[in-house]
Structure 1
Amino acid sequence: MFDTDAVHAGEPDPPIERAVTLPIFQTATYTNEPQDGAVRYVRYNNSPNHEALHEKLAALTHTEDALVTASGMAAISSALLTLLDAGDHLVVPRSLYGGTLTLLGDLLPQFDIEHSFLPDDGPATWAGVVRPETEVLYAESITNPLLSIPDLEAMVAFAEAHDLVAVIDNTFASPVNLRPAKLGFDVVVHSATKYLGGHSDLAGGVVAGPSDLLDGARKTVKLLGGSLDPHACFLLHRSLKTLGVRVRKQNRTAHTIAEALVQHDAVDQVHYPGLSSHPDHDRACALFDECGAMVSFELSPASTPDDFFEALSLPLRAPSLGGVETLITQPRYTSHKDVPSALREKLGITERFVRLSVGLEGPDDLVEDLTTALDHSLDA
């Protein structure tokens, strides 16, 4: 059903001018009749390209409605600014994407919106950070870059008990591996730049959820101008059709790589939920179809990070993730560069912490290349 929806959901029926592929409506504005009361305009995210995407994404995320934005951060910021007013408060886990942490710490306080971190010692202690003005619980389905799996079911129950809107960033899992709306999350956000786009050639975001909440998000996006260009819509629409095929192969290769890394002397620890040694392995198996295509690992003190990176041939040293090519990075210098150093250290994001986004190359080729580079890091 997922792959069928990826190909067919949201497609115009009948096809426009009999075109099998939805054409690009590369126009900023449309004619209208005053009596219609409807204005079609590119900033309003309501071109034929946008509308087809919204329907397809709603089907894939198992939500009532969906909205595309110009980037993942546009999706996150628009969702939170829609749900929160001046004086409001939200609660979040400590381990989040660096851009989200910066949004919470630097920008939202300018709107008199505060946040608190959920204690790390479990749901029984979470109530201690809830205030009368708390409105939102925000989380990630697989945390960036530590690849932990929060107790998502407990989060949904907690949000319901405290009358909070539960928002989740599902970028790392993708809808192939997890549909958080089925767990009870109210709003799901994605960076479409990653797996949904899948080819490292577009920037986009998604907000998905009930139509009444999405109406507010549409207004926010319209006012802030975070709309997706029609050509980027076309690229994303194209990419979604192969999402399941791509991600399932990447999942399998990531598992193979994680098992190989565990065996290497240059690696101290491997973070991959698919490994039985991962502390959240049982939870991942219970909630996820598969455990994702991201692998993080910590180089041992005996290895030299610079020599490891210089010896690599296949993985490209670059930020971002989810593309057809394997990307590798040190989050200390990329996704979490602007996170306060004390919090980075607390999270364990040091220069020896490496994040790998597994692509579509042959598993054996990737394992051989990574193993050779790790060997070189020990010999240097």
Structure 2
Amino acid sequence: MHPSTKAIRTQINRTDEMEHATPMFLTSSFCFDNAEDMRAAFADESDDNIYSRFSNPNVNEFTDKMVALEGAEGGFATASGMSAVFGAFMALLKKGDHLLSCSSIFGSTHTVIKKYLPNFGIEYSYVAADKPGDWEAAIRPNTKMIYVETPTNPGLEVIDLEMLGALAKKHNIILNVDNCFATPFGQRPIEYGADLVVHSATKWIDGQGRVLGGVIVGKKELIHEIYLFCRSTGPALSPFNAWVLSKSLETLDVRMERHAKNALAIATTLEGHEKLSFVRYPFLNSHPQHEIAIKQMKNGGGIVCFELKGGLDSGRNFLNNLKMLSLTANLGDTRSIASHPASTTHAKLTEEERRSVNITPGLIRISVGLEHVDDILADILQALDKS
């Protein structure tokens, strides 16, 4: 089946009620007919559900869909995107290991890597996303995992997954890719050699700003270790949120098609605007990694970013003059969202750290929604005129 069909038709077995839509299984635990069945479940000799921190039919359905869409062998769903990122790190990295990451990453991920991983004796170093030649030189004898976002948040730098996949295989290193911005309908990192793929399902996968969720998919043996870690430490996805996210996947393909179409039209229109230093979108010919983007991505995604020439003051004026676009701490919504990364998602970074990953004072990130493209553009243009 095509991926869009898998997102709709992958579901748990119907109950005796023969429902068409999957029901919600809002239960903390599950019963057994006898002591032997219960023993077998706790001994991992059966696939029976035990406790919703371990597994739940709604969570299983959502995870199975994500596994199918990404072309993975297994998966585990978590309470948020950050719990997916952290769970993948902590389940597979130990004291003395080295994590090699791109420097352009989400602010909370940067905090986890810089502030918390060293507490467990895990070393780290960064490679600039726009310097592909530096990756192999940065590998150490104790490098256990390479972690990247592509496209990156918020600068939309694109990293060559085929190159990293070959490099990780050569050095026997786990390649872990955050595919949140692209979604499985934009790119499939496993096809290029990724061992793990993580998502904040809160974003495009939900698509309507309703629930939190995360998911990790990848090689079976790695997912098993992540499952053991997460079932003991507790970052489980709730059955209700899993039900919402599973239903959301049924429309992800058509939503991302519209998001990407709107985003490309907006980026094309804004390019060359007198008040902007640059406009960045992976499928613009002017994007520094355009050739890589069109090689590994099916579309350019739903994020556009641009730099206002007036810097910090102009950036704030732009946001304050928007009339329709939302100012909120999220992306991937049906509603278009504008944010100022330097003062929000990446505010915890130092000025030097922000500059090193091209987060300038006037950088604006637009999560392009599903409104009519003319209305989105009209709001952006009138706000630019007043900035």
1:197 corresponds to which residue?
206
Q: Is the 8 A contact 2:272 2:278 kept in 1?
A: no
**Matches of 2:204 and 2:115, distance apart in 1:** 28
1:345 corresponds to which residue?
355
Q: Is the 8 A contact 2:157 2:289 kept in 1?
A: yes
Give the 3 Å change call, closer, same or farther, for CA 15–241 of structure 1 in structure 2.
farther
Q: Which moved more, 1:69-78 or 1:151-160?
A: 151-160
Q: Is structure 2 residue 373 aligned with structure 1 residue 363?
A: yes
The one-letter amino acid of 2:339's match is T
1:30 corresponds to which residue?
30
Residue 223 of structure 1, CA deviation: 1.8
Q: Is structure 2 residue 109 aligned with structure 1 residue 91?
A: no
1:308 corresponds to which residue?
318
- Residue 105 of structure 2 aligns to a residue whose secondary structure is coil
- Residue 174 of structure 1 aligns to a residue whose secondary structure is coil
2:45 corresponds to which residue?
none
Residue 16 of structure 1, CA deviation: 5.4
Residue 118 of structure 1, CA deviation: 2.3
Q: Which moved more, 1:358-367 or 1:90-99?
A: 90-99
Residue 56 of structure 1, CA deviation: 1.1
The one-letter amino acid of 1:299's match is L
Q: Is the 8 A contact 1:264 1:371 kept in 2?
A: no
Q: Is the 8 A contact 1:319 1:328 kept in 2?
A: no
Give the 3 Å change call, closer, same or farther, for CA 307–125 of structure 1 in structure 2.
closer
Q: Is structure 2 residue 61 aligned with structure 1 residue 52?
A: yes
- Residue 372 of structure 1 aligns to a residue whose secondary structure is helix
- Residue 180 of structure 2 aligns to a residue whose secondary structure is coil
Q: Is the 8 A contact 1:16 1:22 kept in 2?
A: no
Q: Is structure 2 residue 88 aligned with structure 1 residue 75?
A: no
Q: Which moved more, 1:333-342 or 1:165-174?
A: 333-342
Q: Is structure 2 residue 143 aligned with structure 1 residue 134?
A: yes
**Matches of 1:120 and 1:248, distance apart in 2:** 26
Residue 134 of structure 1, CA deviation: 0.9
Which 4+ runs in 1 deviate beyond 6 A? none
Q: Is structure 2 residue 114 aligned with structure 1 residue 113?
A: no
Q: Could you list the per-position Cα deviations for residues 204-243 of structure 1 after superposition, in whole angstroms to 9, with x for gaps in the alignment?
A: 1010012211111111111221001111111111111100
1:182 to 177, 191, 197: 191
Q: Which moved more, 1:206-215 or 1:347-356?
A: 347-356
1:272 corresponds to which residue?
281
1:61 corresponds to which residue?
70
Q: Could you list the per-position Cα deviations for residues 126-151 of structure 1 after superposition, in whole angstroms to 9, with x for gaps in the alignment?
A: 33322221111111121000101012
Q: Could you list the per-position Cα deviations for residues 86-141 of structure 1 after superposition, in whole angstroms to 9, with x for gaps in the alignment?
A: 11001111111111111100111111001111256744443332222111111112
- Residue 262 of structure 2 aligns to a residue whose secondary structure is helix
**RMSD value, Cα:** 1.5
The one-letter amino acid of 1:305's match is G
The one-letter amino acid of 1:258's match is A
Residue 34 of structure 1, CA deviation: 2.9
**Matches of 1:119 and 1:24, distance apart in 2:** 44
Q: Is the 8 A contact 1:53 1:237 kept in 2?
A: yes
Give the 3 Å change call, closer, same or farther, for CA 232–14 of structure 1 in structure 2.
closer
- Residue 270 of structure 1 aligns to a residue whose secondary structure is strand
**Matches of 2:362 and 2:356, distance apart in 1:** 14
Q: Which moved more, 1:118-127 or 1:90-99?
A: 118-127
**Matches of 1:121 and 1:275, distance apart in 2:** 17
Q: Is structure 2 residue 27 aligned with structure 1 residue 18?
A: no
2:251 corresponds to which residue?
242
The one-letter amino acid of 2:52's match is V
The one-letter amino acid of 2:41's match is A
1:261 to 265, 270, 285: 270
Q: Is the 8 A contact 2:14 2:22 kept in 1?
A: no
Q: Is the 8 A contact 1:95 1:347 kept in 2?
A: yes
1:333 to 340, 343, 364: 343
Structure 2, unpaired ranges of 5+: 43-49
Q: Is structure 2 residue 250 aligned with structure 1 residue 227?
A: no
Superposition TM-score, scaled by structure 1 size: 0.95
Give the 3 Å change call, closer, same or farther, for CA 120–7 of structure 1 in structure 2.
closer
Residue 316 of structure 1, CA deviation: 0.3
Q: Is the 8 A contact 2:204 2:332 kept in 1?
A: yes
**Matches of 1:93 and 1:207, distance apart in 2:** 19
